[in-house]
Amino acid sequence: MSTEPDPETQSKTGLIARLRNGIKWLNANKKRFFWWWVGYQAVKGILTLSLIWIPLLLIWLRSRGEA
């Protein structure tokens, strides 16, 4: 699967043709975008856990005298 635009439809410059080209390109690269999304979610989850939830848990436990 090529990531290059289709030269046949490249000559058409209308909005609909550009949208169709964009949709074809997204469909050709959907596996790559899926794995980028998985990586993004993993990084976001690690940052959220370490910068928000763990400090909140420690504050809550200290307020109860358990940590």
1 lies in a domain? no
| Domains identified in the chain, total number | 1
Residue 21 contacts by C-beta under 8 Å, 6 or more apart in sequence? Answer: 5, 6, 9, 10
Query: What mean pLDDT comes out for the span 40-57?
Result: 97
pLDDT of 3 above 90: no
pLDDT of 12 above 70: no
What span, in angstroms and rounded, lies between the C-alpha atoms of 57 and 25? 44
30 lies in a domain? yes
Range of the structural domain that residue 40 is part of:
7-64
DSSP class of 51? I
2 lies in a domain? no
pLDDT of 19 above 60: yes
Number of Cβ within a 10 Å radius of residue 56: 10
CA angle centred on 55, ends 49 and 60, rounded to 5°: 120
